Amino acid sequence: MTATIRFFARFRELLGTDIQAPVEAGATLTGLVRRIAKQNSEGYEAIFDESGNFREFVIIMKNGKRIERGAAGITLVSDNDEIAVFPPVAGG
């Protein structure tokens, strides 16, 4: 099984985008993103806090639906899922 992880803005600069990642049965959204983000310590620290949880401002989506930070640790990832990780968005 594989999932696509897309990082945006600053996260993309640090970690890349359209990453095809293998997914094991029972993998959670937090676990999958954490595994990919660990490839770059600056990217990991930008997304995760000292406890290994998503930082408060990080926006996470699975297949176009926003996932709350608290639910990311129990949200399972399936084959062909698309995960998007955004930094805070500002604009006007």
pLDDT at 67 over 90: yes
Query: pLDDT averaged over the chain?
Result: 92
The whole model's pTM is what?
0.89
Q: Compute the half-sphere exposure of residue 91: CA atoms within 13 Å on the CB side of its CA.
A: 3
Question: Can you list the domains of the chain with their CATH numbers?
Answer: 2-86 (3.10.20.30)
Percent of the chain with pLDDT over 70: 97
Q: Which of 87, 83, 78 is nearest to 65 (CA)?
A: 83
pLDDT tens-digit map of 6-36: 999 999 999 998 999 999 999 999 999 999 9
| pLDDT at position 88 | 81
pLDDT at 58 over 80: yes
| pLDDT confidence of residue 91 | 54
Q: What is the mean pLDDT of residues 68-85?
A: 94
